């Protein structure tokens, strides 16, 4: 099992249709596990907002608009149905803030 520790952001294409940025957590050879990024944060429920972390350094992450990482669900997708392209990576500041946020979030679950 290969776990991603590099905080790289990928563009995921599902069946050559929709593409969106994701933070890959793990690649076990058959499946890819990831968090999705969202842009419509202000339209989400309070519960969802509490599980989202803002990416502040958009330039380093190659993101053109505000994105939040939705930590509420870990998605699993078979590798045969997706294509991953590297976009960028989280800055060291965003990495540390994400780790701290995730730790705090897990305390309340």
pLDDT per position as a tens digit, 51-100: 999 999 888 788 888 999 999 999 999 999 899 999 989 999 999 999 99
Query: Which CATH number does the domain housing residue 48 bear?
Result: 2.30.30.110
DSSP label at residue 59 = T
What total of structural domains would you count in the chain? 1
DSSP label at residue 89 = E
Is 15's pLDDT higher than 80?
Answer: no
| Residues 87, 11 contacting (CB under 8 angstroms) | yes
State the pTM of this model: 0.86
Rg of the chain's alpha carbons, rounded to an integer?
A: 14
Mean pLDDT of 35-40: 94
Domain that holds residue 60: 2-107
């Amino acid at each position: 099992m290969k776990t991603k520790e590099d905080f790289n952001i990928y563009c995921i294409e599902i069946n050559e249709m929709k593409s969106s940025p994701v933070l890959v957590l793990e690649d076990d050879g058959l499946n890819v596990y990831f968090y999705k990024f969202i842009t419509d944060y202000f339209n989400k429920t309070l519960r969802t907002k509490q599980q989202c972390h803002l990416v502040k350094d958009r330039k380093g992450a190659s993101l053109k608009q505000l994105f939040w990482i939705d930590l509420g669900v870990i998605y699993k997708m078979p590798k045969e149905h997706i294509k991953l392209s590297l976009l960028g990576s989280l800055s060291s500041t965003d990495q540390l803030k994400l780790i701290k946020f995730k730790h705090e979030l897990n305390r309340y679950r």
